[in-house]
Structure 1
């Protein structure tokens, strides 16, 4: 068996709010709550297990990048804009209100309700054009 990422815990201010936010933006489902976690499972089987932090004011922002099909990008990007979220073409937030076209695809960065830095991209970095 090869090594695969199975799940990761995502600390949040409100686990339900953050899980529902991500599921809505990406067009995924929120899985049934499991103990202290609200999971969102991606198409390759990786679960993001959202947990409400016992110190919600001290969430350390993390970066989560999601490779999405080209045909899904427009819908995801529309939901980002419809939610009134700020977005950027770059991880340094120097190109606001733009998307990027890295490696011949499209990508965008945006925040989640707990301050995590999310990214959707249609081509893996280094894949060329």
Structure 2
């Protein structure tokens, strides 16, 4: 089965955005790779942060979801609260300062410095899709 190796995350400051994510996730420090700053995830997928070279932002913030363990989730929520970052239980950000319990797990959403919608969840929604195949 094919596997995702990496994807590019557009940012206004590749170092700041990569560092922000690495701190929230509690991962290794990001690594500069040419025009990118990479955050390596546990499943050998990398997020390569790149600064857009055009003065005007002509890209749209995107959604990135991270499946984490219960212990990792607790640590992430602690970091979010310690940094006093706004967080929500839902992707449309209508339920502030709350976590969700979808699929029998827990989930939370935050924005990164460029407005990307980051989701951290302990139970993947795709589990339902995979079991129905």
TM-score by length of 1: 0.92
Q: Cα offset for 1:126?
A: 5.6
Any stretches of 5+ residues in structure 2 without a counterpart? 129-133
Contact kept, 8 Å, 2:38 with 2:46, in 1: the verdict is yes
Task: Kindly indicate whether residue 16 of structure 2 is the aligned counterpart of residue 17 of structure 1.
Answer: yes
User: Would you identify which runs of 4 or more consecutive aligned residues in structure 1 move more than 3 Å?
Assistant: none
**Secondary structure, in 3 states, of the residue corresponding to 2:118?**
strand
Contact kept, 8 Å, 1:101 with 1:107, in 2: the verdict is yes
Any stretches of 5+ residues in structure 1 without a counterpart? none
Cα distance between partner residues in 2 of 1:39 and 1:127: 27
What are the superposed Cα offsets for residues 30-83 of structure 1, whole Å, 9 maximum, x if unpaired? Answer: 342111000001100000000111236514110000000111111100111111
What is the aligned-residue RMSD (CA, Å)?
A: 1.4
In the other structure, the counterpart of 2:37 is 38
Count how many residue pairs are aligned between Structure 1 and Structure 2.
127
Q: Cα offset for 1:27?
A: 0.6
In the other structure, the counterpart of 1:120 is 120
TM-score by length of 2: 0.90
Contact kept, 8 Å, 2:108 with 2:120, in 1: the verdict is yes
